[in-house]
Amino acid sequence: MNEHSDVRPSRGQIGIRFLYSLLFLIVFEILKLVIQVTVLFQFVYLLITRTYSEPLRAFSNKAATYAYKIVRYITLNEDVRPFPMTEFPPEMDRAVDKPSFD
């Protein structure tokens, strides 16, 4: 049986979780902007040099993992607060070795 079925959170606990969720919504919006700028820069770099920036790919992969963790927390699908309340999450999926443009 589910261990959480009989336990109801207090209104104070719900309020605190809501405030954290609002904070992480703001962080998520800023992160979305950072990812958008990263994508644009990566494609401009790719058009100019005809090769991609590996450090930018690694950063983007970590940012995507962080965004995923934020979404899981604010949608009540994870109880662990995202960074900076915990350590920065490791990459979930490894990037492809060589991106394809087919």
The pTM of this model reads 0.80
| Position with higher pLDDT, 91 vs 71 | 71
DSSP states of 25-81: HHHHHHHHHHHHHHHHHHHHHHHHHSS--HHHHHHHHHHHHHHHHHHHHHTTS--SP
Count of the separate structural domains present in the chain: 1
Q: Indicate whether 34 belongs to any domain.
A: yes
Residue 45 lies in a domain: yes
pLDDT digits (tens, 9 = 90+) for 31-64: 999 999 999 999 999 999 999 999 999 999 999 9
Per-residue pLDDT band for 86 (boundaries 50, 70, 90) equals: confident
- Is residue 83 domain-resident? no
How confident is the model at residue 1, as a pLDDT?
46
Res. 84 pLDDT band, cuts 50 70 90: confident
Domain range enclosing 51: 11-74
